[in-house]
Structure 1
Amino acid sequence: MGFDCKSHMKRIDGDAGYVLEDVPHLTDYISDLPTYSNPLQFNPAYSAVKQYFVNDDDTVAQKIVVHKDSPRGTHFRRAGPRQKVYFHSDEVHACIVTCGGLCPGLNTVIREIVCGLYHMYGVTRILGIDGGYRGFYSKNTISLTPKVVNDIHKRGGTILGTSRGGHDTSKIVDSIQDREINEVYILGGDGTQRGAAVIYEEIRKRGLKVAVAGIPKTIDNDIPVIDKSFGFDTAVEEAQRAINAAHVEAESTENGIGLVKLMGRYSGFIAMYATLASRDVDCCLIPESPFYLEGKGGLFEFIEKRLKEFGHMVIVIAEGAGQDLLSEGMDGQDASGNKLLKDVGWDQTAGWPVMIIPITIAYFHHKNTNQLRSYSEHEAANSFFMKPCVYVPAAILGIILGLNGYIYAYSVACLPVSTASLILATQLAFTALFALLLVKQKFTPYSINSVVVLTIGASVLALHTSSDKPNNESTGCTIGMLVNNNFKVISREAREYELGEAKYYMVMIGSALTWQCYMTGAIGVVFCHSSLLSCIISTVLLPVTEILGVIFFHEKVPS
């Protein structure tokens, strides 16, 4: 949702470089607007307090620290109650709407607006707009009183409901005019406030006596001048729980790294405050502080040093950090008009062949970058970015994994299903044995019993499998089909397929994608947890396959 709004921001220049960026006001387009005494003057709870009202000339400086010879700089109008108001309490018909994402404290803000209008200013007609901007013209309203909002601050979310998008300026202002609303309180983020500015411009064009008040909603705390945005403290508190969990996980694993990505868009306040409060974070990456990965002083060098020293570490990264290090291609906007940020954690969930694309691009990009700009005058550009002690074992494991895939494909193509299943069933015990020998995997009596039972059960099931591969039919594995020269069989199978040739190719492509997802998930489990868990999942799925065969293909399985 994009907005094209030419806001009538007022700029007033004063002496010594003083600049006031003022907000639009009703008096800008309605002349001779009557004023009334502020009802707070007659409220016994406030009338005794001197200097309570804000002077019309009070402003807040954008920059607190200035030099003695520097200009006074930009200032903003100070918020607060004035001695004179432009609405009589009896004529006020207010409404409140919440838009965009959820934020801690939304119900509290709604409650305070309602109670403040009712008890402090004597306003009794207050509506709640249900479901964001589109609620103005597509949903019913909610009557709000202090009794209705009495305990809503104890609940999460917003009692009014919220949504992104749905901004139809003409329909919204028509609804405001038809309902005779003259005070609109809009709670939302930057996209919502841009929408509020557009609503004001339409109200201004129509010459309506309607005040639009924007209340910024963001947990990111990225609003200048104000002390703190509501919801920020709760976000920091919840972030510490995630950091604590990541620290426990990382500390329990050799060379474990706990990576916690926190919200914040272009500001790192949540990440920074949560890091300072936690004291378990080794590295905090925020958008305000650029960083680089390779070379002396880079992130990779720091991670390597930290792991050698402590054996584990925790990294906290703000949502918008490192955007210049990621590939281009995400230039879209969400429903509120905010630019979509590139995900720093996307590579963790990608598998072959998807993973090879960014890896290849990153390799040539870094190679060209290093050729043009090295990190020091005497350092030559590197063609390899992995140290030999890491590269050689990784290459060996890659060859072994490829050989394993080839042998598995060949066995599926040439061996009976029962024999291939038996080989697959022994993989769990084999992996458990080498996990014990190589990485000192700790086993309990329960885990040993589980490995033995699953292995024996899968082996018995494999020995009694009778649905061997028929002759002259293609297999579902590329390497196996190449070995067995089965590609020439596909066209014949498609013609003989009972459901039709088109559905044959749909089933074949669907099966290929399913296997792709299965292998990606298996490798993902290995990287995120352990190879032992991956084998346990594969072994458990073996009897599931037999059960599905009985259900869908009515195969006969011996007791």
Structure 2
Amino acid sequence: MEMELQLQTTDVSRREKNSHRSTIITQQPQHSRFKKYKWWFRIFLYIIFLLAGQSAATLLGRLYYDKGGNSKWMATFVQSSGFPLLLPLLLYVKFTEMRNNDSPDTKPKVSTIFSLYVAFGLLLAGNNLMYSYGLLYLPVSTYSLICATQLAFNAVFAFFLNSQKFAALIFNSIVLLTISASLLAVNVDSEDSMGVPRGKYIIGFFCTLGASAAFSLYLSLVQFCFEKVIKRETFSTVLDMQFYPSLIATCACVVGLFASGEWKTLDNEIKGYQKGRVSYIMTLLWTAVTWQISSIGMLGLVFEVSSLFSNVIGTMALPIVPILAVLLFHDKINGVKIIALLLALWGFLSYIYQHYLDDKKAKADKSDGLEVSSETPFH
């Protein structure tokens, strides 16, 4: 009788353990699935921020010039001056990390970090100034297509600074984007829609091309500094890398505004603005806000995935802005521009597909490594 009771007790305890184990097994995939959905939601939100912010900021920048604005330094100033909007998010993230004791054991020297912020801030100011010249002298559709060369520059800089491999599809992407930009360089009919002389059109073209190269260099250098200098990539460090260089860039723009003498013409510019004083202020205000929305999206993608992925997603605005420019500013779309757009899209898709293949291979190698390690016996 006692033996039967012991067997029954053992059987009940075994069933309880199995039930508990099955509960854990079912709960873990659900928890993992929830985290995955949450991650994808954040990625989707950051992509929307980046694409919507970048597209709106570009169109508002063109609107400023179209309605009577003429100050290159003011157009440059608003691209970085919205950085105080990041302050609440930066303070919240830093407070959360302090509460969770996530601060690193070793930090780079303050002088090193300060030097990085100053260098990146000045690079950002020069980059924004070249973009301002591009928007002033080029139709938005042409400007956006030239900005697609950012991917080609990014591949080159990533090869030298971030050990990025040069695959056949990446090379194909660079060739296609170069041809696309070359077509726009010789497409001088584009200035007819704005009444811009050939000389200024060429200045706008090379300024936009230079800005694309400078921004790609900026992203590659930021990634390099995260890996080699800061050696840490938390959300707060990514926010710091946006906040403080933007502060330096804004200060540089203020100096440029006064040194160039453009500040003297701002009063007449406001009075002569076609839509009125309130519209002038709101155009500049929303340009600053939308650039920061774009920055939050870019920073989120840098933190969640990589700076390279953020750069690629930013280029997805390529087909959006020219279409909106045709509707809002009546930009001309001729055969050369259509061919340039198709070549740029082809180059973009080649770039995306190559990184999809690289990511797939990396995941396969990682899973093979886990299988080998799991089969290794414990000693």
Mark yes or no: TM-score above 0.5. Answer: no
TM-score norm. by structure 1 comes to 0.29
Higher helix share goes to which structure? Answer: 2
TM-score norm. by structure 2 comes to 0.41
Larger radius of gyration: 1
Higher strand share goes to which structure? Answer: 1
